[in-house]
Amino acid sequence: MIREWTRGAFVISTDPRRLDLDIVHRFLVRSYWAEEIPRDVMERSIASSLPFGLYERSEQVGFARVLTDWAVFAMLMDVFVLDRCRGRGLGKWLVEIATNLPELGGLRRFMLATADAHELYRRFGFREPDRPDLLMERVDPAPGVYRRRR
Report domain extents, the chain.
4-148
Residue 70 has pLDDT above 90, yes or no: yes
Own/partner long-range contacts of 77-80 (Cβ < 8 Å, ≥24 apart): 77/45, 77/49, 77/112, 77/113, 78/24, 78/28, 78/31, 78/33, 78/34, 78/45, 79/112, 79/117, 80/27, 80/28, 80/31
Where residue 145 falls among pLDDT bands split at 50, 70, 90?
confident
Tell me, what's the pLDDT at 121? 96
Percent of the chain scoring above 70 in pLDDT: 96
Residue 118 has pLDDT above 80, yes or no: yes
Tell me, what's the pLDDT at 138? 87
Tell me, what's the pLDDT at 149? 57
Residue 141 has pLDDT above 80, yes or no: no
Q: Return the CATH fold of 4-148.
A: Aminopeptidase (3.40.630)
